């Protein structure tokens, strides 16, 4: 038995890191065990402490494999079921994606142990949280970004989420990482009998202080309620993914949305259809939207819908949103969908889902790379908000809601955040609820209502504090109706963006490196 333990012992940090990464999944929706996120990162810190940089890299990679292997395993479902890909090939593609994403925790671990290798409280309480946050920011930006599974999302149910209106989900990630490092230090100093009563009290006081500051941040109101309330109705068509782009089902799809919409005409001001609701691209469907616009206008309403827009080359498309009825500048209607305020073209596309990188080489190799409507191109980066009922809606199409920077930018001139999606790609996995949780954070960050329309769930109205006001039953053709209130003002995050937080992180890392370098020099001179 002792021999077996000796053989296993060198591999324990890798195994424990793998398990620790997997635990992180349970911190997010639908499980929402926030403490799991804190414990998970504490495990990573333990696993890489006092390890050489190269070994720390591979330990961090194992953590990333557990984190993404458990947290985004819905990728396999999308590739296999809707990509019409053999299970073994879908597993390989998913595995490669997980391996690639795992590089971020690996590089984080290597950087921490390479440049900040003095094992003291400065490393764990100052450098560790700041460096983790920097790598999260990088992951959401480099190579189009993958802004999923940010540590901050795990704290939706804790007081730490109060940092979001000040520094977005990244500030919450920093706070959660700090709490993780405090937990690590409290446990390690206790078991190693190195702590004094004074040090223990300081660590517990710091832990309490984080929550006190978070409570104080929750009292900072960047936005305030106005007297203007509007009625909205979100139409959830529940169209199966296999039917959406089949020409034989177009008439039934259109009829589904018409029938559901008829139920609320005359009782609501804004009607929202989900992403790609009408599977007939503009300009071919322009006459249909003119008719729907006239119908909505007669009922003193505006209709906002997702629809593809075919480009002049007849091969490529925009993934678009159009507004008709009482919409456009001065509510004069949108006879021309190219008018400012009448349409929006998605600018952050999903690689391999909405477009194929290196298309001329990869297109057609496997079925997954030849999905219906996978020839989208990016819309312009600087577009006007959608206008309906004289109000401005910041559009975020599907995946775009996951980008904090993007939503911060478009929400500056907006009264509401509007996000529409087609989450049938996820199937009955944890993906749709993770997506909903991300939208909740965008409401928190901006201090505005988020109106979220989906094809099959989860369609929701989200309050400025991130709480869900109303939620439609998933996998059901239905209409979710409710009131949303116009919010005045801007949160600190919307006003200043990432720059204050980024400057603080860079200064923290620079100061931490200088501190550790100075201590190393003193030790060298003493020798």
- Residues serving a catalytic function are 275, 346, 398
Preceding peptide of 30 cis, ω within 30°: yes
User: Secondary structure of the chain: what % helix, strand, coil (to 5)?
Assistant: 55, 15, 30
427: left (phi over 0), alpha (psi -120 to 50) or beta: left
C-alpha to C-alpha distance for 487 and 320, rounded to whole angstroms: 26
Q: Are 362 and 80 in contact (CB under 8 A)?
A: no
| DSSP string for 141-185 | TGGG----S-GGGGGTTSGGGGGHHHHHHHHHHHHHHHHHHHHHH
Output the six-digit token pair for 94.
């998913």
DSSP state letters, 51-77: --HHHHHHHHHHHHHHHHHHHTTHHHH
Q: How large is the C-alpha radius of gyration of the chain?
A: 25
**Orientation angle between helical segments 164-191 and 197-217, nearest 10 degrees:** 160
Yes or no: say if 354 and 374 are a contact pair by the CB < 8 Å rule: yes
Q: Checking DSSP bridges between strand 343-345 and strand 317-325, what pairing results, if any?
A: antiparallel
Q: How far apart are CA 419 and CA 400, in angstroms?
A: 8
Q: Is 118 helix (H, G, I), strand (E, B) or coil?
A: coil
Residues in a beta bridge with 318? 309
Give the sign of the dihedral formed by CA 178, CA 182, CA 184, CA 185. Answer: positive
Distances (CA, A) of 410 to 165, 242, 396, 480: 15, 33, 9, 25
């Amino acid at each position: 038995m002792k021999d077996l333990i000796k053989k296993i012992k060198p591999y324990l940090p890798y195994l424990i890191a793998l398990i620790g990464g997997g635990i992180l999944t349970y911190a997010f929706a639908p499980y929402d065990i926030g403490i799991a996120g804190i414990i998970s990162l504490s495990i990573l810190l333990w696993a890489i402490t006092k390890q050489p940089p190269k070994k720390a890299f591979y330990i961090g990679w194992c953590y990333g494999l557990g984190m993404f292997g458990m947290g985004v395993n819905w990728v396999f479902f999308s590739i296999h079921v809707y990509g019409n890909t053999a299970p073994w090939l879908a597993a390989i593609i998913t595995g490669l994606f997980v391996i690639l994403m795992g590089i971020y925790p690996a590089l984080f671990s290597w950087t921490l142990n390479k440049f900040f290798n003095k094992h003291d409280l400065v490393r764990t309480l100052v450098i560790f949280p700041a460096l983790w946050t920097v790598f999260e920011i990088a992951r959401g930006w480099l190579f189009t970004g993958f802004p999923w599974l940010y540590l901050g999302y795990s704290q939706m149910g804790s007081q730490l989420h109060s940092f979001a209106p000040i520094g977005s989900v990244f500030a919450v990630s920093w706070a959660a990482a700090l709490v993780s490092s405090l937990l690590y230090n409290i446990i390690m100093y206790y078991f190693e009998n190195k702590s004094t009563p004074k040090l223990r009290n300081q660590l517990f006081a710091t832990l309490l202080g984080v929550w006190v500051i978070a409570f104080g941040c929750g009292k900072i109101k960047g936005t305030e309620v106005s007297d203007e309330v509007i009625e909205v109705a979100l139409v959830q068509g529940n169209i199966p993914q296999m039917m959406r782009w089949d020409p034989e089902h177009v008439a039934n799809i259109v009829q589904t949305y018409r029938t559901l919409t008829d139920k609320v005409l005359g009782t609501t001001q804004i009607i929202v259809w989900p992403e790609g609701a009408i599977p007939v691209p503009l300009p071919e469907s322009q006459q249909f939207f003119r008719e729907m616009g006239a119908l909505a206008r007669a009922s003193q309403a505006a209709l906002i819908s997702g629809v593809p827009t075919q480009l002049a080359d007849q091969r490529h498309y925009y993934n678009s949103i159009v507004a008709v009825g009482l919409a456009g500048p001065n509510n004069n209607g949108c006879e021309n969908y190219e008018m400012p305020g009448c349409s929006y073209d998605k600018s952050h596309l999903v690689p391999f889902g909405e477009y194929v990188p290196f298309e001329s080489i990869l297109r057609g190799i496997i079925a997954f790379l030849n999905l219906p409507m996978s020839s989208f191109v990016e819309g312009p980066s600087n577009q006007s908000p959608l206008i309906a009922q004289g109000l401005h809606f910041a559009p975020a199409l599907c995946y775009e809601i996951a980008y904090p920077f993007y939503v911060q930018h478009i929400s500056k001139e907006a009264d509401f955040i509007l996000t529409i999606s087609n989450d049938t790609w996820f199937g009955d996995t944890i993906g749709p609820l993770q997506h909903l949780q991300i939208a909740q954070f965008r409401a928190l960050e901006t201090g505005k209502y988020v109106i979220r329309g989906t094809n099959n769930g989860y369609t929701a109205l989200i309050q400025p504090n991130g709480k869900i006001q109303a939620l439609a039953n998933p996998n059901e053709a239905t209409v979710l109706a409710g009131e949303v209130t116009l919010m005045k003002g801007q949160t600190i995050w919307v006003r200043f963006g990432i720059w204050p937080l980024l400057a603080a992180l860079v200064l923290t890392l620079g100061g931490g490196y200088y501190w550790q370098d100075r201590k190393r020099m003193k030790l060298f001179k003493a020798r």
